[in-house]
Amino acid sequence: MKIFLLSTAITALTTAAFADYPERPIRLMVGFSAGGGTDTSARGFGSFTAEAPTMNGMPMVIVNQPGGSGLQAAQTVANADPDGYTLYIINNGTMSGASLSTPEAGFDPRESLVNLGCVTQLVTGLHIPAEHPAQSAAEWVESVRDNGEIVRWSTSGAATMHAVVGHLFMNANGIDHQVVPFRGGSNARNALVADDVTASFNGNQLISGFEEDIKVLGVPSLERDPANPDVPTFAEQGLEALNVTGPMCLYGPVGLPDEVVADVSAAVEAVTELEGFGRFMGRSGLAAMHLPPEEGTENLNRLMETFAPVIAEIAEAQQ
């Protein structure tokens, strides 16, 4: 009897607690320092959430916890109470790269986090100096293969999404290559601007302002990126498609109540449809793009599977 009373009391309490979720601002964790790419997108998103009908006018407040390429904050969220007031926003590509390249952290996002939908995406591009004669990725591949020299390419780190795409591309097209990792995408881009490397695999949002120095030959997505509709995919040019993009998704800890999942994912969709949000993302060289939770989860699973052998290979190549 006592147990029955207690459990009804708890049910009553929890229902009451979630009846009108959210009743206070939600903390949206960002795994990087204030001001970086992820942070700017997250702050933009957070400021628009109050306009979503399911959010009761509550904003999402950004809280930064940098560390371990975002894994630190991911673990904080995974261990938080599943009450829907501590959520996480990160790029799937970043999270896959980070968790696979630090197996000692023992963190698998597929087991510890629940996808709540995605709001935009980062797309890797093959960047080369603007004065290079090649007009397409296919032409470029041919010219560097004929040339016979080792292709040195810069990228944003040893095991980031952009690095993985670079390795996949070079291996798929049989190009003799040498990666030169830099600390962050901007440094990798600057090395291309300074003509130190032949090519760069890097985020396409980083070329805004550098159109005179750099051209983008192709992207590894199945469809063209809405932020750069002029850039063809590799598949269009007769090369292997690769199918790697990094959507930026919201996550919560495992065990979120259904109502929270429904409300947040509805809010994610509503925000991506706001014109102001699209304009905001446009200034960062990105585009608003919505993926429902199932597709976000599917994307993460695919990235983890695609990245695992490449990252293992990168580690092995060093032996």
Task: Give backbone dihedrals phi and psi of 99, rounded to 5 degrees, phi first.
Answer: -70, -30
Instruction: Give the residue with the Cβ less far from another protein, 184 or 232.
Output: 184
Residues 93, 109, 125, 157: which binds another protein (CB under 8 A)? 157
Is 119 among the residues that bind another protein (CB under 8 A)? no
DSSP H or E run through 283: helix 275-283
**Helix/strand/coil percentages in the chain, nearest 5:** 50, 20, 30
**CA neighbor of 281 nearest in space, from 35, 43, 28:** 43
Instruction: Give the residue with the Cβ less far from another protein, 138 or 286.
Output: 286
Q: How far is the CB of 62 from another protein (least distance, A)?
A: 7
Residues 50, 210, 235, 266: which binds another protein (CB under 8 A)? 210
Dihedral of the alpha carbons of 147, 211, 213, 135, in degrees to the nearest 10: 20
Q: How far is the CB of 119 from another protein (least distance, A)?
A: 16
Asked whether 201 and 162 are in contact (CB, 8 A), the reply is: yes
Dist CA 245 CA 153 (whole Å): 20
Is 318 among the residues that bind another protein (CB under 8 A)? yes
**Which residue carries 């159109």 as its tokens?**
211
Dist CA 109 CA 286 (whole Å): 24
DSSP H or E run through 50: none
Amino acid code (one letter) for 22: P
Binding span for another protein by CB under 8 A among 14-22, 62-70, 257-265, 292-300: 62-70
Residues 57, 208, 305, 309: which binds another protein (CB under 8 A)? 208
Is 92 among the residues that bind another protein (CB under 8 A)? no
Is 34 among the residues that bind another protein (CB under 8 A)? yes
Is 183 among the residues that bind another protein (CB under 8 A)? yes
Residues that bind another protein (CB under 8 A): 24-25, 27, 29, 33-37, 40, 43-44, 47, 61-68, 72, 76, 101-102, 104-105, 152, 157-159, 178, 180-184, 186-187, 190-191, 193-197, 208-212, 279-280, 283-284, 314-315, 317-319
